Structure 1
């Protein structure tokens, strides 16, 4: 009996200690939540915030897994953008929804997501309250495995460093040098049929063209995917739309395709991505890193050798079309002059390559999908470039081709290359509109909340573009001067650093194709169906017949 008493006393004391600890933790948690509630109530009152009244009715109101499932299924079906467009049309310019895979605010996770197509709200996120928003954890886990800590992934001081590192490389002198683009375009033309009797998929060729030009601009040498296609016998599309003869992309180009598909799936699934292995994506990312690392290592060693020859002195100066050492300009070599951190260089190269290849190729594909169906627009383009008398345009003469510019703008409006975007609130903040019964009051945005916007829908709002907002009408740009309701290249401090590079390349390629061919004929009777990746383009390609201009 005495033995029993001696053992029960310590056990009882342990239970009391454990119970006391749990009570203390519960009190601390309750105190913190109470303090947070009171501070947020004061914040809401100070900014005249009203609760959001419009809410998408999630079937899963806790995690919003139904939204994830719907997006994946609709992306497979090619109807995701139309579904998102319908949501905004039905529930208003700003509404709340569960975006999926994030714990509710009362469990300490992110709050409801706010979806908006209100230009003032988007302006607030991208500019007015720029420091209140960032990518947070929304991109690090998904884009990070491929893109590391490059400019499209990071926030804050690291983003400023990336921006300062990259911006000089997109100076006018670099993007105005069109000789390399013309060389690749000459090979592009050789791959096109001499007459309209043969159908060709322009989209496939555009993606090859842009990875060839982007890789040469970045690495100093091209991956030559167009040359590989030429050596295989060229790309001809058969009667059923299949490729009759085609060479595979270079291993690197294929790896980038697989790696992009992988990071897109990471973004959609969040932590659920890790529930099963993804050997193809992992292998693609590993290959892409190893491929770029070879160029980085060569550039850094080259830089170190040049520094030794100069006695170790700094050689950084303003970039020109011939680089800072009198040689042909190479993006990688200029980066190596600014930093010798190999991972930093690799990350930034992959970030810019991803943007330089996919955005421009998708841009051109979407435009020519429409041009093949609009002989009236093609005729006006022919008239616009007639003054060049067949000569390739220069950077300066491109500026004078107004109708070319109108067509580019209209393509980016109707089919924005990056149709979706979002940011995460890095602290408690506010949106100017979306609260109250009329949706016109300020809206409180708790820390961790995702604010998402659909540019595809924004560009179709009739309040800004008229009753024909769904139509492709380049002439609207003769007098249209949009502001935050037109965002093909983002806005605010994070506006696309390569915007002029993409516009110049797209304008040049469009002009040269219009010069080269008398007319373009649609060979695909179906409508445009989205293929949504990191950019959007036509799911079925751009099947056309091209008729050469008479010499």
Structure 2
């Protein structure tokens, strides 16, 4: 028996939600007050509904129709920005409160684990022991190394390859015809990530030049990533589910990358022994790794960890295009701002931080549609949150050792207390008066465990969007359906990103193939 995404994803998500946050009900009986309220509540589950089956059915429906995150928004409106629920006998706290989130992820971050009981199970078959799957001293050592890996990012940022990949993307876009950009952006991001890590493309966006081994690797990665995410939702339950196909896909991914790593090591050794100097070359992430270790297992785990992050690049691109296609005024204003700065010239690396209005748009896209909408922590000691306790929700809230806290990034980003009454609207201009440390804004998390590759994501997203704006004079949505969140390794749109584009004739050039 095996896990097949098409047949069990809903069940897996529901089981995972049960483990993490599905049985939402008030603490105790009606005489008690839920944090954040000043009057008795109507219980979400009746006294006879011991396991919260009634609520489970609601959650199942919201998972199946893609409204789970919006359903959680309704819960915030009913019970406040921080509330505690009894989940199959375990206390779990949910928060979208900016003050609580900041303390939890910054000043008291050491009171919580990320890996134990959460990510260890999630990553044990692909990248055990890497930065995302460790806590404590082991994490500190990983973090120290990863800071060095990402020093002088400009030396790792391959602008010629980025442009060639963009031109390959353009080949798939036909004038004024509907196209789903979401899978194209994922293919593009997979190529870019591979080149950043290994110095060679997977040729996803250029399939005519894709070898059989790369095709097999990409297929295995696309199958392994969502199941890895489901394992994170299931927690320890995942270990009781047969996953022969998943483990086979993990083996293909690690085997392919292991061969690439060994080939690089062998080439370096031959060059050293022969005294051959190959001359200057584009530095890769693997080059940085080899400066610290030549242990094949450590190299494989770290390389695989970064290769799995392709969605971190593709999702901001997809979400931003989805929003822009529905806001022609914003798109026109963006085009003007881009042409005022660089015209039709390709932006340089130094210019990527100069596109102020585009930066506002990306910030707003990450706010409304964060690629990672939820994150989870488990207390490793008795600790507390500043608010959420007491009858009015304004007192401290006790978090005991072993209890979990679910942080809703999606909820925080749409919280009127953080971003005003128009928090659910796409308005890039709000960032004229906000900065990246705005309360409640954490698309890349915050504190010591903030995403270390965030600048790589932002630079890549900026370059591709600038080139799209230069190349296409009009961008229009071809789908009137709303954004339906699909939660796997990251958040995507169940309906895709269907748009049409009209080329700017002045920008048309002969496309370049992958390098």
Q: Same fold (TM over 0.5)?
A: yes
Asked whether the 8 Å contact 1:299–1:333 carries over to 2, the reply is no
Corresponding residue of 1:433: 387
The 5 Å alignment of 1:257-268 reads 257-268=222-233
Distance 2:96 2:479 in 1: 32
Deviations 1:456-500 (A, max 9, x none): 110111122121111101111111234341000100001110010
The alpha-carbon distance between structure 1 residues 402 and 491, as it changes in their structure 2 partners (threshold 3 A), is: same
Match of 1:77 among 48, 61, 65: 65
Is the CA contact 2:203–2:210 (under 8 Å) kept in the aligned structure 1? no
| Aligned twin of 2:258 | 293
Counterpart residue number, 2:165: 184
**Hey, what's the Cα distance between the residues in 1 that align with 2:94 and 2:393?**
13
In the TM superposition, residue 58 of structure 1 has moved relative to its aligned partner by 5.7
1:430, 1:443 within 8 Å by CA — same for their partners in 2? yes
Q: What residue in structure 2 maps to residue 280 of structure 1?
A: 245
For residues 66 and 270 of structure 1, do their structure 2 counterparts lie closer, same or farther at Cα, with a shift above 3 Å needed? farther
Q: Verify the 8 A CA contact 2:223 2:246 in the aligned structure 1.
A: yes
- Give the direction of change, closer, same or farther, for the CA distance of 1:257–1:98 in structure 2 (3 Å limit): farther
The one of 489, 504, 525 aligned to 2:459: 504
Aligned mate of 2:323, from 357, 370, 378 = 370
Q: Would you say 1:156 and 2:136 are equivalent positions?
A: yes
Relative distance call for 1:72 and 1:327 in structure 2 (3 A) is farther
Q: 1:403 to 1:332 in 2, by over 3 A?
A: same
CA distance in structure 1 between the aligned counterparts of 2:418 and 2:322, rounded to whole angstroms: 25
- How far has the Cα of 1:305 moved from its partner? 5.5
Say if 1:413 and 1:486, in contact at 8 Å, map to a contact too. yes
User: What's the offset of the Cα at 1:167?
Assistant: 1.9
The question of whether the paired residues in 1 share the 8 Å contact of 2:221 and 2:250 is answered with yes
Note the C-alpha offset of 1:73: 5.1
Q: Check 1:326–1:443 CA distance in 2 against 1; reply closer, same or farther (3 A cut).
A: same
Partner of 1:486: 441
| Conserved 8 A contact 2:35-2:80 | no
Q: Which residue of 2 aligns with 1:169?
A: 149
Q: Which residue of 1 aligns with 2:120?
A: 140
Q: Return the match for 2:339 from 386, 392, 395.
A: 386
**What CA distance in whole angstroms lies between the structure 2 residues aligned with 1:58 and 1:342?**
52
- Of residues 308, 315, 332, the one that matches 2:286 is 332
2:98 is the counterpart of 1:119: yes
Asked whether the 8 Å contact 1:57–1:97 carries over to 2, the reply is no
Q: Which residue of 1 aligns with 2:497?
A: 542
Indicate how the Cα distance of structure 1 residues 378 and 53 shifts in structure 2: closer, same or farther if over 3 A, else same: closer
Q: Contact between 1:522 and 1:545, CA under 8 Å: does it hold in 2?
A: yes
* CA gap 1:540/1:521 in 2 versus in 1, 3 angstroms: same
**Cα distance 1:428–1:300, how it changes in 2: closer, same or farther (>3 A)?**
farther
Point out the structure with max Rg over C-alpha. 1
**By how many angstroms is 1:416 displaced?**
0.8
Deviations 1:12-59 (A, max 9, x none): xxxxxxxxxxxxxxxxxxxxxxxxxxxxxxxxxxxxxx9957798467
The structural deviation recorded for 1:66 is: 7.6
* 2: CA distance, partners of 1:263 / 1:289: 14
Provide TM-score, normalisation by structure 1: 0.78
TM-score, scaled relative to structure 2: 0.83
The structural deviation recorded for 1:337 is: 1.9
Task: Count the aligned residue pairs.
Answer: 464
Q: In the alignment, which residue of structure 1 is the partner of 2:468?
A: 513
Q: Which residue of 1 aligns with 2:484?
A: 529
Cα deviation for residue 398 of structure 1 reads 2.3
Moved more, 249-258 or 510-519: 249-258
The answer to whether the Cα contact below 8 Å between 2:476 and 2:500 also exists between their aligned partners in 1 is yes
Alpha-carbon distance between aligned partners in 1 of 2:391 and 2:171, rounded to the nearest angstrom: 61
